[in-house]
Amino acid sequence: MEFSRVLIQFALWVAILHQLNQVIGFPLHAAALDDIPAYSDSTDREWRLQVDAHVKENLASILRDEAVNRLDKLGKVSDSQEFLQRTFMSPAALRAGQLIRTWMADAGLFTWIDDMGNVHGRFDGMNSSAPALLIGSHMDTVIDAGRYDGALGIISAIAAVKALQKSGKLREYPRPIEIIAFSDEEGVRFQSTFLGSGAIAGTLSPNLLQVKDKRGVTVQQALQKLSFPGTKESIVHLKYEPESVWGYVEVHIEQGPVLEAKGLPLGVVDAIAGQTRLRVSMKGSAGHAGTVPMAMRKDPMPAAAQAIVAIEELCIRLSQSVGQVTALQATENKGGALVCTVGEIASWPGASNVIPGEVTFSVDVRAKDDSVRELAVGNMEVIIHEICRNRAISCTIERKNEAKTVDCDHELTERLTESATAATSELSTLAGVPTANQEAVPTISSGAGHDALAMAQLTKVGIIFVRCTGGISHSPEEHVLDDDIWAAGLALHSFLEADLPKSLSA
């Protein structure tokens, strides 16, 4: 009898809470009921406003504390014990994907992993057939990486959606929300960027399945080894139809010094620089280091050295000739910002007492004006071929990746600016963290490529930049303040709340 009485009382309380929910139209989730203001002390609307204020005060546990903790955990998922390294289809990448998937499920999302290893989490909202809002970034890293590049965008998105879910508002969202952790953006393993987002956007050529890594493993073999189909049909099938997508939003560390110089935690991107990646191969004649006279050698190593210096001189000269844009200049002036990087070089057979028979190196060319970038690449190819002819060696130049400059959607940029501004103000109120500068959230251009560069071929895109210490990225020294992580989560949460019915977002 005692058990029956307890069961009846429990059922009665459930019924009361359900009825209260129906009366005031505010979905009461368990996590939103901790220390909730007493209902009997005020009117329905006043009580709901008190609940809203209470939930916002407790958002820090999700948007800052939990997000910081998860970034720390994800930063320890690595293929190396000495440094952070997580490349496409590596064991660490698989572990990271499963970890991210559990966090997506924790936020109330339905999850899956697609045939390119992208991790998805989706909530259908009030209208499952409406075009979806996509939010995401990449989970792969460079070698000896920092823990925020890519990961911050994924964790902030999950945190913002979880906060919406815990306050009971997620089910009222007018369209589906889908978070995507892209499997490859950096292009470290196969020297071909955007394998993950390119497949979703439909820009990934099925021919890339035959591209090889340094060990001779193709993309197809890497996929099939882990039981993914790895077929042309499976790649084509991943493409989203434009009419099924409302837009794409990405949160990313700035990877530059502008926000820190301005004393501001957040900025919004207006454009992403175009980029070209080349792979140069120079072939000569291998020989003994001690027996082949200097005048009789066909050594590709000095040729590569000469070419690399020539590339630097070309890019400096061309950049100066068209008026280089400095970091703090107005972003409307996009012409002329040109940077060129040789970040990788290898020789074969690679022994100290052997004249190499072949040298290969990469070239990364970026500019905010496509005509400047194309001119630089064209001149570069002419110079490299001339060096090879003069030294009687052969050379090939392969364009591994090419992406045009992308302008972010104007209306989406305005909305993100409003959300970032609101977040900065709210953070100052909640945490007493004033910004060093009361200037409005700045609009800046991105010299780095992001998944938004690929997704722009599918839909409109917008990006929030987050301040990083010293502008350092692609390094273990990469760092973002905890409160700046909070600001990013608040901005994304504010952006999502703006789409809710006015009765809920008020």
pLDDT 10s digits, 173-224: 999 999 999 999 999 999 888 999 999 999 999 899 999 998 999 999 999 9
Determine the pLDDT at residue 259: 94
| Cα separation, 202 vs 196, whole angstroms | 10
Tokens in use for 410? 């104007």
Determine the pLDDT at residue 55: 61
Of 72-81, 88-97, 266-275, the poorest mean pLDDT is in 266-275
Of 158-172, 255-269, 331-345, 439-453, the poorest mean pLDDT is in 331-345
Contact 265, 259 (CB under 8 A): yes
In this predicted structure, the answer to whether residue 23 has a pLDDT above a threshold of 60 is: no
pLDDT band at 105 (very low <50, low <70, confident <90, very high): very high
Of 9-23, 71-85, 231-245, 374-388, the poorest mean pLDDT is in 9-23
**Range 3-16 average pLDDT:** 51
Sequential DSSP letters for 103-158: HHHHTT-EEEE-TT--EEEEE-TT-TTSPEEEEEEE----TT--SSTTHHHHHHHH
Determine the pLDDT at residue 161: 97
**Range 405-422 average pLDDT:** 95
Q: What is the phi-psi region of residue 148: left when phi exceeds 0, alpha when psi lies from -120 to 50, beta otherwise?
A: alpha
| Cα separation, 307 vs 362, whole angstroms | 11
**Range 65-82 average pLDDT:** 97
Using alpha carbons, list the distances in angstroms from residue 480 to 142, 177, 185, 266.
18, 26, 20, 11
Determine the pLDDT at residue 88: 97
Burial of 35 (0-12, 13-18, 19+ CB in 10 A): exposed
**Range 391-395 average pLDDT:** 96
- Give how far the C-alpha of residue 467 lies from the chain's centroid of Cα atoms, to the nearest Å: 15
Rounded to two decimals, the pTM is 0.78
Tokens in use for 356? 């190499």
Where is pLDDT greater, at 310 or 34? 310
| Cα separation, 468 vs 35, whole angstroms | 35
In this predicted structure, the answer to whether residue 65 has a pLDDT above a threshold of 50 is: yes
In this predicted structure, the answer to whether residue 482 has a pLDDT above a threshold of 90 is: yes
Determine the pLDDT at residue 331: 33
Burial of 479 (0-12, 13-18, 19+ CB in 10 A): middle
Give percent of the chain above pLDDT 90.
74
CATH architecture of 60-273+406-505: 3-Layer(aba) Sandwich (3.40)
Determine the pLDDT at residue 440: 79
Using alpha carbons, list the distances in angstroms from residue 341 to 49, 72, 96, 305.
54, 30, 29, 13
Q: List the one residue out of 168, 167, 180, 157 whose CA is nearest residue 495.
A: 157
The rounded mean pLDDT for the chain is 87
Determine the pLDDT at residue 56: 62
For 275-403, give the CATH class: alpha beta
In this predicted structure, the answer to whether residue 491 has a pLDDT above a threshold of 90 is: yes
| Cα separation, 182 vs 248, whole angstroms | 13
Q: Where are the domains of the chain?
A: 2-54, 60-273+406-505, 275-403
In this predicted structure, the answer to whether residue 290 has a pLDDT above a threshold of 90 is: yes
pLDDT band at 344 (very low <50, low <70, confident <90, very high): very high
**Range 375-387 average pLDDT:** 96
**Range 260-278 average pLDDT:** 93
Q: Which helix (H) or strand (E) holds 339?
A: strand 338-341
Q: Which DSSP state fits 40?
A: G
- Out of 33-37, 137-141, 325-329, the most confident range is 137-141
Query: Cβ atoms within 10 A of the Cβ of 6, count?
Result: 10
| Cα separation, 84 vs 378, whole angstroms | 36
